[in-house]
Amino acid sequence: MIYPNSKTILEVRNLCASVSGTPILKNMNFTVKSGEVHAIMGPNGSGKSTFSKVLAGHSDYEITGGTVLFEGKDLLELAPEERARAGLFLAFQYPIEIPGVGNSQFLRLTYNTVQSHRGNEELDPLEFDDFVRDKMKLLEMREDFLDRSVNAGFSGGEKKRNEILQMALLEPRLAILDETDSGLDIDALRIVSKGVNHLANKDNAIVLVTHYQRLLDYIVPDFVHVMEAGRIIKSGGKELAVELETRGYDWVSDEYKAASRVAA
Amino acid sequence: MSAALQNIINQPYKHGFVSDIESDVAAKGLDESTIRMISAKRNEPEWLLDFRLQSYAAWLKMTEPTWQNAHHPKIDFQAISYYSAPKQKPKLKSMDEVDPELLRTFEKLGVPLHERMAMAGVAVDVIFDSVSVATTYKEKLAEVGVIFCSFSEAVKDHPELVKKYLGTVIPTSDNYYAALNSAVFTDGSFCFIPKGVKCPMDLSTYFRINTEESGQFERTLIVAEEGASVSYLEGCTAPAFSSNQLHAAVVELVALDNADIKYSTVQNWYAGDENGVGGVYNFVTKRGLAQGVNSRISWTQVETGSAITWKYPSVVLLGDNAVGEFYSVALTNHYQQADTGTKMIHIGKNTRSTIVSKGISAGKSNNSYRGLVKIAPSASGARNYSQCDSMLIGQESGAHTFPYINVRNNTAKVEHEASTSKIGEDQMFYFAQRGIDAEAAVSMIINGFCKDVFQQLPLEFAVEATNLLSFKLEGSVG
Ligand SMILES: Nc1ncnc2c1ncn2[C@@H]1O[C@H](COP(=O)(O)OP(=O)(O)OP(=O)(O)O)[C@@H](O)[C@H]1O
Ligand SMILES: [Mg+2]
């Protein structure tokens, strides 16, 4: 929701990034204020996941220009774990499996690490168990989730739910959900969306990366952006997503090219 | 591999100091007179000298094995000193009498010898270079009839027991290094649990090589009579030297009817530096004879040290219904090489064995599992389950699995599972994205990987092993 006079959480200016010498992000500009929900759409390969991972600090990507401020601080200066502790959360498009590492131990470690960096108290295993089971109810997750290895053998939809569970535990300032809807069945989509809506408030912000309007029926965005070839080429309100659903991306691309020609 | 991950696995060796303890070191070289000298220094009986001389004769006829997947320059057996003993009072009644420098050494090692072990109620025998310097809790153990002492004392005080069992599990001519050990061993531990006695505390031996050019050849013999049981822990370290030290120990276990021996090792001999210079050659022969019906022998090892480790703690399952177990974690880094595994020889009926091996290779190291499961024609209903998992860290390390299975009885059932995994950059990124730094991430992954083995260790040791692995893999990140 858009609140008057809300604080800027994320400010990306002319961000350029490349992977092994190939530019992927080209002058990306993007601003998020607290309380807002943004949707980033755009064709496959346009750089949506790259943008998310660059914000989270993935070492595959070299920053070749631009600035990123996170709550006024230089985000690019921070190590990936420091960004997470500062409140940046990325729900991965493809959550990785970590065989052998118990999900409950992992969840407790991440929770306690982030809490202690925020100056809050850590929870012991028993306290954490109650706490996490509560959050799992919100997402209607099966209890045996905790006993399994992190994401190992999870179905596509279970992995996505596990991501949102972590979001619920860590209560990030900015959550980027990279295609959390893909792979979710109809009921799961509704449950996960309900969970995300429950977590959204006026002090945090959510960026949804998605290909489909149906997610945006549940989590209604304040802004919709279209990415192409490493930059945002059009921004609008929630009705833009509806229009994209019927018309596709070509017209946006054409409009952008025409505008660029005029500018040049 | 990222710099962070690289740093984590490149920890310096914290036990790399030389203790300033005066030693009585023999001149280098090996011939019959060396063996007579060792035997004389230790006032040994004639039969033991004969045992040594026979072993030496056998050794002379043998050639160094080269089949293991580990490579080293030829060892010059004449450049090694075969006897090094700390110069001090020969007999100690309690730990308070131990050379303070030695105690400081153990403090530096982080060995919870003096207080923590005592509090935990663990009886400890300390072997420094080749000589046992202190055994704790002897009297208390003696009350229930348990004999726990240095090998030399056992030869002096219980010659009939030593004579009865020495070399019965591992014959002097078993292999090159066992033969060498049988010829020149200087000390070690002896442990005897009489019929029906459950040893009231864990027994522990701590080994340390302290002299640069001495080899360490200790000998351990554990006998559990009918219905007896014991849990035995072995730890070891060595200072950092640029040359290589040879450690060729022999451990023999005998379990009679319904006896139970659990032998746990945390091996942290000096591994050499990050360029592969120095380090201990750890060529050890360990074997248990599950001689009686329903007997059980269980080996658990955490191998983190040594330039080269070459050992196969094995169980000969002779008694009907005997059980053999092997749980192993072997971690190699830099230029370390480990070729380790087990042999389970099923002879008795309905014998069962379990093998769980976890190999972790980082740096440019090489880690091999080599295991033999042999089911003799007599072993009807025998069963084996083997699981061998390897984890690779970085691009330049190697993991190999060599399972040998030899089944001669068609009622037997043998299962083998193997897997190889990698700590990937994307796993590390996942942890980082959740606020967890690289050190904590690696240690969590490794501990998860080793869980099945660690839970076999006595609690005190499990904690030490967990810390040791973390220490070996953690570092100054960022
Ligand atoms: N680590 C990498 N190595 C090589 N190329 C990469 C890497 N990461 C991204 N790319 C390339 O960058 C471009 C953008 O990829 P990205 O994953 O960001 O697209 P996306 O918008 O998320 O697509 P999708 O909708 O399919 O998820 C693609 O051409 C991709 O192949
Ligand atoms: Mg993507």
Span B399-408, pLDDT tens digits: 999 999 999 9
* pLDDT category of residue A29 using cuts at 50, 70 and 90: very high
Q: Give the CA angle between residues A37, A41, A46 to the nearest 5°.
A: 135
Is the CB of B3 inside 8 Å of chain A's CB atoms? no
Q: How far apart are CA B303 and CA A223, in angstroms?
A: 57
Confidence at residue B59, expressed as pLDDT on a 0 to 100 scale? 93
Among A65-79, A190-204, B205-219, B333-347, the minimum mean pLDDT is found in B205-219
Q: How far apart are CA B425 and CA A59, in angstroms?
A: 9
User: How confident is the model over B126-136, as a mean pLDDT?
Assistant: 57
Is the CB of A64 inside 8 Å of chain B's CB atoms? no
Q: Is the CB of A48 under 6 A from ligand 1?
A: yes
CA distance A4 to chain B (A): 31
B399-434: per-residue pLDDT in tens? 999 999 999 999 999 999 999 988 888 899 999 999
DSSP output for A16-28 = EEEETTEEEEEEE
**Taking 70 as the threshold, does the pLDDT of residue B337 lie above it?**
yes
Is the CB of A99 inside 8 Å of chain B's CB atoms? yes
User: Which of B423, B430, B412 shows the shortest CA–CA distance to B9?
Assistant: B423
Strand partners, A23: A18
Q: How far apart are CA B331 and CA B312, in angstroms?
A: 15
Sequence letter at residue B214: S
* Dihedral pair phi/psi, residue B144, rounded to 5°: -95, 5
Confidence at residue A158, expressed as pLDDT on a 0 to 100 scale? 92
User: Coil, strand or helix: which one is A61?
Assistant: strand
**Taking 80 as the threshold, does the pLDDT of residue B244 lie above it?**
no
Q: From the CA of A39, how far away is ligand 2's center (Å)?
A: 13
By most ligand atoms within 8 Å of CB, the mutation choice from A19, A48, A50, A180 for ligand 1 is: A50
* pLDDT category of residue B338 using cuts at 50, 70 and 90: confident
Domain segments of chain A as ranges: 8-97+173-263
Q: From the CA of A136, how far away is ligand 2's center (Å)?
A: 26
Measured by CA distance, the residue closest to atom 31 of ligand 1 is A45
Residues of A with Cβ-Cβ distance to B429 under 8 angstroms? 56, 58-59, 80
Q: From the CA of B160, how far away is ligand 2's center (Å)?
A: 75
* pLDDT category of residue B218 using cuts at 50, 70 and 90: confident
Among A82-86, B37-41, B248-252, B350-354, the minimum mean pLDDT is found in B37-41
**Taking 90 as the threshold, does the pLDDT of residue B217 lie above it?**
no
Confidence at residue A215, expressed as pLDDT on a 0 to 100 scale? 95
What is Dmax (Cα atoms) for chain B?
69
Q: From the CA of A239, how far away is ligand 2's center (Å)?
A: 22
- Hunting for tokens 């959510």 — which residue is that? A206
Q: Is the CB of A94 under 6 A from ligand 1?
A: no
Confidence at residue B100, expressed as pLDDT on a 0 to 100 scale? 60
* pLDDT higher at B303 or B86: B303
Confidence at residue B335, expressed as pLDDT on a 0 to 100 scale? 84
- Hunting for tokens 């080293």 — which residue is that? B72
Q: From the CA of A45, how far away is ligand 1's center (Å)?
A: 5
Measured by CA distance, the residue closest to atom 16 of ligand 1 is A47
**Taking 80 as the threshold, does the pLDDT of residue B150 lie above it?**
yes
CA distance A12 to chain B (A): 19
Confidence at residue B112, expressed as pLDDT on a 0 to 100 scale? 45
Query: Which member of A60, A89, A110 has the closest CB to residue B436?
Result: A110
**Taking 70 as the threshold, does the pLDDT of residue B15 lie above it?**
no
* pLDDT higher at B245 or A222: A222
**Taking 90 as the threshold, does the pLDDT of residue B133 lie above it?**
no
Strands annotated E in chain A: 8-19, 22-33, 37-41, 61-70, 73-74, 88-91, 98-102, 149-150, 174-178, 205-209, 223-228, 231-236
The mean of the pLDDT values for chain A is: 95
Q: From the CA of B56, how far away is ligand 2's center (Å)?
A: 69
Are the Cβ atoms of A81 and B432 closer than 8 angstroms? yes
Measured by CA distance, the residue closest to atom 24 of ligand 1 is A44
Confidence at residue B3, expressed as pLDDT on a 0 to 100 scale? 53
CA distance B405 to chain A (A): 27
Decide if A3 contacts A9 (C-beta within 8 A).
no
Is the CB of A104 inside 8 Å of chain B's CB atoms? no
Confidence at residue A236, expressed as pLDDT on a 0 to 100 scale? 96
* pLDDT category of residue B242 using cuts at 50, 70 and 90: low
Is the CB of A85 inside 8 Å of chain B's CB atoms? yes
Q: How far apart are the first and last CA of chain A?
A: 36
A158-214: per-residue pLDDT in tens? 999 999 999 999 999 999 999 999 989 999 999 999 999 999 999 999 999 999 999
Looking at domain A8-97+173-263, its CATH superfamily turns out to be: P-loop containing nucleotide triphosphate hydrolases (3.40.50.300)
Interface of A with B in 197-256 (CB under 8 A): none
Measured by CA distance, the residue closest to atom 2 of ligand 1 is A19
Q: For the complex shown, is ipTM > 0.90?
A: yes
DSSP output for A4-50 = TTPPEEEEEEEEEEEETTEEEEEEEEEEEETT-EEEEE--TTSSHHH
State the best of A98, A163, A171 to mutate against chain B, taking most chain B CBs within 10 Å: A98
Tokens of B288: 């248990």
User: Coil, strand or helix: which one is B150?
Assistant: strand
**Taking 80 as the threshold, does the pLDDT of residue B212 lie above it?**
no
Confidence at residue B13, expressed as pLDDT on a 0 to 100 scale? 46
User: How confident is the model over B35-44, as a mean pLDDT?
Assistant: 89
The mean of the pLDDT values for chain B is: 82
Residue of B nearest to A60 (CA): B425
Are the Cβ atoms of B445 and A98 closer than 8 angstroms? yes
Confidence at residue B116, expressed as pLDDT on a 0 to 100 scale? 42
**Taking 80 as the threshold, does the pLDDT of residue B115 lie above it?**
no
B355-386: per-residue pLDDT in tens? 999 999 888 888 999 999 999 999 999 999 99
Interface of B with A in 387-426 (CB under 8 A): 421, 424-426
The whole-angstrom distance between residue A25's C-alpha and the CA centroid of its chain comes to 17
Q: What is the number of other CB atoms lying within 10 angstroms of the CB of residue B455?
A: 11
Among B94-103, B180-189, B308-317, B374-383, the minimum mean pLDDT is found in B94-103
* pLDDT higher at B365 or B134: B365
- Hunting for tokens 């009705």 — which residue is that? A239
Percent of all residues in chain B with a pLDDT value above 70, rounded to a whole number? 78
User: How confident is the model over A77-81, as a mean pLDDT?
Assistant: 97
Interface of B with A in 429-468 (CB under 8 A): 429-437, 440, 444-445, 448-449, 451
**Taking 90 as the threshold, does the pLDDT of residue A217 lie above it?**
yes
Are the Cβ atoms of A58 and B434 closer than 8 angstroms? no
**Taking 50 as the threshold, does the pLDDT of residue A144 lie above it?**
yes
By most ligand atoms within 8 Å of CB, the mutation choice from A49, A63, A90, A210 for ligand 1 is: A49
User: How confident is the model over B7-26, as a mean pLDDT?
Assistant: 52
